[in-house]
Amino acid sequence: MSIRQLPDTLIDQIAAGEVVERPASVVKELVENALDAGAMRVDIDLEEGGTRLIRIRDDGEGIVAGELSIAVARHATSKIASLDDLESVATLGFRGEALPSIASVSRFSLASRRRGSEHGATLQVDGGRVGVVAPRAHPQGTTVEVRDLFYNVPARRKFLRAERTELGHVEEWLRSLALARPDVELRVSHNGKPARRYRGDTDLFSGERLVETLGEDFARNALRVERMLAQGGEGHGARLGLHGWIADPTYSRASADQQYLYVNGRAIRDRSVAHAVRQAYADVLFHGRQPAYVLFLDVDPLRVDVNVHPAKHEVRFRDARLIHDFVQRTLHDALAATRAGNGPLVAAVTTQAEVARSLALPGLPQQGLSLRIDEARAGYAALYADTAGRQMAGEAPMPPADASEAPPLGYALAQLHGIFILSEAAEGLVVVDMHAAHERIGYEKLKRAHDAGGLRTQPLLVPQPVAVSEREADVAEREAGTLAELGFEVGRAGPQSLLLRAVPALLAHGDIEALLRDVLADLREHGASRRVVGERDALLSTMACHGAVRANRRLTLPEMNALLREMEATERSGQCNHGRPTWTRVGLHEIDRWFMRGR
Ligand SMILES: Nc1ncnc2c1ncn2[C@@H]1O[C@H](COP(=O)(O)OP(=O)(O)OP(=O)(O)O)[C@@H](O)[C@H]1O
Ligand SMILES: [Mg+2]
């Protein structure tokens, strides 16, 4: 075949292959256009999962009659005019490709009236064949209709799935758009029936939109995160901010279905940021579970390239490493604040040391760097303040405590089956898994002690021989340094025996022989690469488990109360070392319900 220039319609259809995958991608492009046009309300009508009809109406700026034809022309956009504009683009669209692509694979119509203009107009495009502009009455704003998607591209049409499935994809995109723009009202109808409504004028940070999109359960377990790094003072130079919500580790998911990341308002996927989030959760998430989050990264537009993916699902950061570390550190700190008894909404904590650490982040010049950390003011009550009176499934905010000075986890009443501590708290009954809680407290103590230069050692009055395998004895000899850091002093007494001379002071009261064996087993498994923090943590976690109270140990009330107070003061004490919850609360309202007592 000789080389020839392709006809325009075919070029559009080829471009459509990248831009339009299914009804959901059409909805995404059209709603993004509406948002770029400043719409505050968008109506989305669908038929048959969007395969038969997608109609999007908005109350935005509108398009003048004279520009309707150019709007559906390839490479025509009002959003950028130069490469400079592209480098600092603030709109969701910038390619001038969405409308011509969609119009080339559907029966398409565009109707609009520009703000301030007297008359509306409309234009049809049928499988890429552009009709003529005709007058039509239309309120200010724009309506786009897309019928029979892929009717002229059978190969594509074959890939469309069942109505339910396509509708599900549309809803997922809308959820993602709705999270980014809580100020905009979105109404969805399907097959003529109202299907979904996101109220406008909600404020994401009051938690309302969060409840609308991800449900009460997420909102109830969400931790508010907000941090900003500004270089050279506010409003000048490079800025880097992160805000949003991350779910408490005990609210984890089996799949990665609640992970929303936005860069400058645009929903994207990013492997490096996802990795940073996973690392931040590494120490608190139950094995194999996925964290849930809604995170907004604000990056200087000049330092991020949005033009790297055909459907704009990815971006490229200039300072990828810096952003990775910033996200990881911020979430790590926020998660450290998940102390038992804290309301679910806590801010990333800030200490002097933390500021100093942030200053040492690689990639940002340290000179003239000013750090501003916004402590979120939102509290548990604040989340529900706006929704109060709507009675969230019977779990209204707890009434203020009568004794408001009572500690969050209350005062111990009794021990149940040697496993749980029952405690009377202002809002009702608190149940604590004694071993799980104690284990976390021990673990955090060990980590702190280790960070402060190694675990304190307690010499044994009489050195204790420990029988081990020959390999274990070898490991003990080879790893004498690591063991010393962990607080053990061990010598070799024979081919299969060690002599234990000193043990970690924090754990001196437990079964130290079993402890040493477990540590040796861990060391054997992880080898000598102890510079890796995760492995150090695994060792300390093993040790903490040994130190923790066993089931069936009788505790006195003062001992129980001491444990509760320690939980309140310990970072991450809401979850045990394996990510399981350490405590739960049964509200008085719920107990009332058990007995059908109205209040
Ligand atoms: N709902 C709308 N309201 C007002 N103007 C619109 C609307 N939809 C499209 N337009 C105009 O039509 C132009 C072309 O839209 P199109 O979506 O094809 O390109 P784009 O948004 O500029 O870039 P991209 O291809 O990245 O989406 C836009 O630049 C805008 O001027
Ligand atoms: Mg667009």
Please write the tens of the pLDDT for every residue from 284-303.
887 778 899 999 999 999 99
Which residues fall within 8 angstroms of residue 252, CB to CB, at 6 or more apart?
Answer: 285, 286, 289, 290, 291, 292, 579
Which-ligand-closest: CA of 80? 1
Question: Which pLDDT tens digit goes with each residue over 392-424?
Answer: 222 323 333 448 567 889 999 999 988 899 999
> Best of 33, 108, 123 to mutate for ligand 1, by most ligand atoms within 8 A of CB?
33
Question: Which pLDDT tens digit goes with each residue over 122-165?
Answer: 999 999 999 999 999 999 999 999 999 999 999 899 999 999 99
126: tokens are 């049928």
- What does the pLDDT read at residue 207? 73
> Best of 36, 72, 114 to mutate for ligand 1, by most ligand atoms within 8 A of CB?
36
Q: Do the beta carbons of residue 359 and residue 231 sit within 8 Å?
A: no
Strand partners, 502: 459, 489
Query: Does the structure show a pLDDT above 70 at 341?
Result: no
Q: If you average pLDDT over residues 512-537, what whole number do you get? A: 70
- Per the model's pLDDT, the better-predicted residue between 524 and 52 turns out to be 52
Any atom of ligand 1 within 6 Å of the Cβ of 95 = yes
Which-ligand-closest: CA of 34? 1
Phi, psi of 189 (to 5 degrees): -125, 150
Q: Do the beta carbons of residue 78 and residue 221 sit within 8 Å?
A: no
- In angstroms, how far is the first alpha carbon of the chain from the final one? 83
Element (H, E) at 111: strand 107-113
Q: Do the beta carbons of residue 314 and residue 308 sit within 8 Å?
A: yes
Any atom of ligand 1 within 6 Å of the Cβ of 49 = no
CA-closest candidate to residue 153, choices 275, 317, 356, 12: 12
Q: What is the mean pLDDT of the chain?
A: 83
pTM of the model: 0.73
Q: How far is the CA of 28 from the centre of ligand 2 (A)?
A: 9
Residue 59 corresponds to which amino acid?
A: D
Which-ligand-closest: CA of 75? 1
Which residues fall within 8 angstroms of residue 356, CB to CB, at 6 or more apart?
Answer: none
